[in-house]
Amino acid sequence: MFQQVKNLTNKTIWQFTGNPAFARAVGKPLVSPLDIRLRIKTGAHTNGKRVAVADVLNERLRLELDSRIGGYLQRKIDGELPERLVTFGTRPLCIQIPNIARPAPVAWTEGIPASLERIPLGLAWGWQGVYPVWWDRTIDSNAHILISGITGSGKTIMLRAILLSLAAHVKDIEFVGIDMKGRGLAPLAGLFRQPLATTKADALALLMAVDAEITQRVAGGTNWPTIVFVIDELIDLTDGDSQAQEWLARIARMGRELGIVLVAGMQKPLIEEIGQAKSQFGLRVVGRMRNRKDAETAAGVAVDADNLMHAGTFYLVGGIGQPVLFRGVYPDDAAMRSVVSRYQAGVSVLNVRNVDTDTGRGAVQAVANDRQAEQDAAQLWAEFGESAGQASLNARIRALGLQPAGAGFHTGKARVLAAMDVLTTTAEKPVSQEVVVVA
């Protein structure tokens, strides 16, 4: 295919310059799991000539490649080649051809660093090499994220990957969620402090409760703990329900300052279906869409997401810069089970390392997410004191079967602080504790 592209490029450019030697590759072709790119120096020094070269070459390449892979695209994705295969500017022409080979998944691992402000989404390929793609929440407009795509595009997998990264690396965080189809978030049900809302009535009750939490946080001047509000198939909640749209818009508008993060997925985000909340999702992840109009509706800008061939391939739109084509991370069943089980045990987000011989305070940190923290920590302190080894302490935590329990949104900050007071008055000497985020 490279040789055919090269020959066709030379022939086309020759018609404009009279010399095929002007058409030569700049650097090596870039072959990635997503596409194949070549940069061509044309010898066309004026913008008008570059435009003409690019337009003619684009059409000829589309005709040539359509005869080779057009049938495959039609059968595979009911699609066709992108409208633009050739782009131009102050730099050489860039020829970008979809890679029809099925790309391997980008495995999600706990070794990928994450924080509440920088959440890994996947990998992209550029002329300078492979680079990570992040949900960068340090940009104000990126407070919330909306993931779009038709069934089978991989949007639910992306939702799961985001939740796993947060659960594995961020402390003082709670998850609440709506999954009215009862499938998308089910493997991660153990991350949620209360059962996932799977009916419209439960979903509206949860939405109203989060809205009430907004009011309480405004009155109390607090944004702790961080609440991650996850909604799979947003349209099931908001379509035709103006009150739900109003609650959602308020949560989205005020959430960043008050520690509430929205992570939502849906097939096609129409404003009449989700209301004014759509404008608050500053970051969009767009998977395969049915047509170009739907792709642009989802992204808010022109992208050819209707021509994405493989599940798990997305455009990242928002923040700073142009849309980025990337391959999303894929968490397998083992990764999900591992993170969920340790999160439920109270040690999923923290690796507690003793600096002194203080195991009691370490116990409080390890079970800080549990609403019974003060009683459990006091019991551990009384039984083990300062002489217990970390292995014994961990064994005791498991034996007690500590689980995140109770309803509501607060992880028990007041209770944990009360437990700290118990330990302070019980201990005969000051203790120190270093808490290290798992990497």
User: Does residue 27 surpass a pLDDT of 70?
Assistant: no
- Looking at the chain, the whole-number percentage of residues with pLDDT higher than 70 is 69
Amino acid (one-letter) located at 359: T
C-beta of residue 169 within 8 angstroms of C-beta of residue 437 = yes
* 363-377 mean pLDDT: 40
C-beta of residue 291 within 8 angstroms of C-beta of residue 315 = no
Angle, helix 2-17 to helix 47-65, in steps of 10 degrees: 140
- pLDDT at residue 265, rounded to an integer: 96
C-beta of residue 72 within 8 angstroms of C-beta of residue 56 = no
- pLDDT at residue 344, rounded to an integer: 86
pLDDT in tens, 156-193: 999 999 999 999 999 889 999 999 999 999 999 999 98
- Architecture of the domain made up of 106-338: 3-Layer(aba) Sandwich (3.40)
pLDDT in tens, 330-353: 999 999 999 999 888 864 332 222
Could you tell me which residues are beta bridge partners of residue 125? 130
Q: Which of 285, 298, 174 is nearest to 229 (CA)?
A: 174
C-beta of residue 44 within 8 angstroms of C-beta of residue 17 = yes
pLDDT in tens, 402-439: 433 232 233 333 433 343 344 333 333 333 333 222 22
User: Does residue 75 surpass a pLDDT of 50?
Assistant: yes
Could you tell me which residues are beta bridge partners of residue 236? none
173-179/226-232 β-pairing: parallel
Across the chain, mean pLDDT equals 76
The CA angle 201-404-332, to the nearest 5 degrees, is 85
The DSSP code for 67 is: I
Highest mean pLDDT among 33-47, 193-207, 406-420: 193-207
* 295-305 mean pLDDT: 91
Token pair, residue 420, equals 């700290």
Cα 65 off chain centre by: 34
- pLDDT at residue 26, rounded to an integer: 64
- pLDDT at residue 433, rounded to an integer: 32
pTM score over 0.85: no
Whole-angstrom distance, CA of residue 402 vs CA of residue 348: 12
Whole-angstrom distance, CA of residue 425 vs CA of residue 108: 44
Whole-angstrom distance, CA of residue 266 vs CA of residue 252: 16
pLDDT in tens, 211-231: 999 999 999 988 989 999 999
Residue 346: left if φ>0, alpha if ψ -120 to 50, beta else—which one?
A: left
